[in-house]
Amino acid sequence: MFKRQVLLECISALLILLFLYTSLSKFMDFKSFVDDMNNQPFPNSWTPFLVWFVPCSEILICIALLFERTRMAGFIGSLVLMTLFTIYTIIVLLNFFTYIPCSCGGVIRRLTWNQHLVFNLFFVALSITGLILQHRKYFKSILITQTNSFV
């Protein structure tokens, strides 16, 4: 039980570090982030939505991962966002687009696309692991509560 909690805390901390770092990097260099988003292969009309949605989603995931009651939502949000980033990276690696700037924040933008894929898959795996551990912990606490209410 204690090991599972420590592992959950470590996974949460790593995801919080990732999303907090990338979201703050995007906001700190917002003009470059907007320019990069305008150079993406999707319509520029999406940019005003995406430049706020992506970093704000990352911050909301951080907040959700901080608290026990919302951690499951944080893991789900992390998994969804990292899966979308991973799918996008795979599409880039399959050469569907001619030119793709990286709109990642901070030093992560210096990774090659192959390194991005490995990086993203690592955080997808962390999100899945956290989700499974949190799910088991949640249902275990429900069983204990129900068992105690019958006694």
pLDDT, tens only, 43-88: 889 999 999 999 999 999 999 999 999 999 999 999 999 999 999 9
Tell the burial category of 86 from Cβ atoms under 10 Å away from its Cβ (0-12, 13-18, 19+). middle
What pLDDT is stored for residue 15 in this prediction?
98
Phi-psi region of 121 (alpha: psi -120 to 50; beta: other; left: phi over 0): alpha
What pLDDT is stored for residue 139 in this prediction?
60
Q: Does residue 149 have a pLDDT over 60?
A: no
What sign has the CA pseudo-torsion 51, 54, 59, 64? positive
Model confidence over 1-49: pLDDT tens digits? 678 889 999 999 999 999 999 999 999 999 999 998 888 888 889 999 9
Q: Structurally, how many domains does the chain consist of?
A: 1
* Cβ atoms of residues 124 and 79 within 8 Å: yes
Provide the domain limits for residue 16: 2-150
Model confidence over 95-110: pLDDT tens digits? 888 777 666 766 787 8
* Cβ atoms of residues 133 and 4 within 8 Å: yes
Residue 145: pLDDT band (50, 70, 90) is low
What pLDDT is stored for residue 99 in this prediction?
72
**Chain position carrying tokens 């990292």:** 82
What backbone phi and psi angles, to 5 degrees, belong to 27? -70, -35
What pLDDT is stored for residue 12 in this prediction?
98
- Give the global pTM: 0.85
